[in-house]
Amino acid sequence: MKPPGESASPFGRLFESRGPRLDPAAGVALVADGSRIVFAASTFLQAVHAVFHADKPGAWPAMQHAGGITAGHAFATTLDLELTRLGQPVLTDQPLEACLALAARQFKAQGWGLLTADLTDAAEHGLVIARLQHSAFVAALESGTEFADALPAGFLQGFLEAVSGQALGCIEIGCARLGAPHCTFVITSAERLDPIRPLLGLKAAGEIVARLKA
CB 111 within 8 A of CB 134: no
**CB contact set of 58 (below 8 Å; sequence gap of 6+):** none
**23 has which bridge partners?**
28
* pLDDT of 130: 98
| Nearest residue to 44 via CA among 151, 136, 149 | 136
Domain assignment present for residue 209? The answer is yes
Per-residue pLDDT, 132? 97
User: How far, in Å, CA of 179 to CA of 165, rounded?
Assistant: 35
The count of structural domains within the chain is 1
- Residue 50 covered by a domain: yes
- The domain that contains 144 carries what CATH number? 3.30.1380.20
pTM for the whole thing?
Answer: 0.84
- What does pLDDT average to over the chain? 87
1 is a domain residue = no
In a domain, 4, yes or no: no
* Domain presence at residue 154: yes
Whole domain around residue 150: which residue ranges? 10-213
Greatest Cα pair distance in the chain: 56
One digit per residue, pLDDT tens: the chain, 214 residues? 344 444 445 455 655 555 567 776 777 777 666 677 666 677 778 888 888 888 888 888 999 999 999 999 999 999 999 999 999 999 999 999 999 999 999 998 888 999 999 999 999 999 999 999 999 999 888 777 889 999 999 999 999 999 999 999 999 999 999 999 999 999 999 999 999 999 999 999 999 999 999 9
